[in-house]
Amino acid sequence: MATPHVAGAAALLAQRHPEWTAARLKDALISFGVTVDGQKVTEQGGGRIDARAAVLGAVSATGTLAPPTVRCSRRPP
């Protein structure tokens, strides 16, 4: 059931900030995730999306990290 909720929150955020890229929308949604007490990350993922805070608030942190691409010079046997 998370998919329709996240899609709806993303649509609201994209409507409010049409200049934002998909990556920035994702960062905002993850940054405004609220963890649930007593649950492990494997049970709740990034937490519940606080759509109101995401749409009305200022994003002050990013929720994702893009690691650098690592190239391997060895070919597998």
What pLDDT is attached to residue 68? 67
What pLDDT is attached to residue 71? 73
What pLDDT is attached to residue 11? 93
For the chain (77 residues), the mean pLDDT of every run of 10, in chain order, is 86 90 85 81 78 74 62 68
**Distance between CA atoms of 20 and 31, rounded to whole angstroms?**
15
pTM of the model: 0.65
Our CA angle for 17, 63, 59, nearest 5°, is: 40
| Beta bridge mates, 49 | 33
Tally of CB atoms within 10 A around 49: 21
